[in-house]
Amino acid sequence: MFNAAFDSVTRIDPMIFDAPLSEIGVGQATALRGEVHTLGVELIVTSPLTRAIQTALHAFGPDHAPIRVESLHRERLEHSGDVGRSPVSLRRDFPTLAFDHLDDPWWHFDGRDPQAVFIEPEETLLGRVQAFRQWLAARPETTIAVVGHGTFLNRLTGHQFKNCERLTISL
């Protein structure tokens, strides 16, 4: 919904906090199901942003591997769509997933107003990328699906992602 409303020419933020997927996004995520079904995924790790959770659920369907919500690989905060919601609010919308381990707020903020929209410093983002890489390396699973966001995943892989693009890498 954020991408559909964001004006990339004027860079005007539509102020849609934690935006859900649009119908187009749901279609893109559902279209991945056939591709990801054959990968032998042992764990699905998703960002706590609603659009990532929805993507994981639509892409992997009802008979999926366990889903872990992890805030280390949330999107870099640059717009309203990158400001999250409390674990309590997320639990109401996604009752089958665990959110108790998340801080509140779990997204980047300046310590004063968790609803403020300001750009997360690049060095903070790169620190999270390194921490997430280490977190993945310490996992016992060998095939992990990471459902996340373009800027974060670009810093992790060096690849420029399109919406709902799948890339297989070995870390």
- 7 falls in which pLDDT band (50, 70, 90)? low
The pLDDT value given to residue 112: 81
For residues 80 and 53, which has the higher predicted lDDT (pLDDT)?
53
The pLDDT tens digits for 130-162 are: 999 999 999 999 999 999 999 999 999 999 988
Do the domain assignments include residue 26? yes
Question: Is residue 97, in this structure, part of any structural domain at all?
Answer: yes
pLDDT at 8 over 80: no
* Overall domain count for the chain: 1
Q: Does residue 107 sit within a domain?
A: yes
Give the global pTM. 0.92
Which residue, 59, 42, 50, 125, is CA-closest to 92? 50
Tell me if 166 is assigned to some domain: no
How buried is residue 67: exposed, middle or buried, by Cβ count under 10 Å (0-12/13-18/19+)?
A: buried
DSSP label at 71?
G
Core vs surface per residue 138-153: b (16+ CB within 10 A) or e: eeeeeeebbbbbebbb
Domain membership flag for residue 168: no
Count other C-beta atoms under 10 Å from residue 30's C-beta.
Answer: 15
**Domain membership flag for residue 115:** yes
In a domain, 19, yes or no: yes
pLDDT higher at 109 or 2: 109
Quick one: tokens of 4?
A: 């559909």
- Containing domain of residue 96, as a range? 2-157
20, 81 contact by CB (below 8 A):
no
Q: According to the model, what pLDDT value does residue 80 have?
A: 85
- What pLDDT does residue 63 have? 83
pLDDT of residue 164: 83
CATH no. for residue 93? 3.40.50.1240
Q: For residue 9, is it within any domain? A: yes
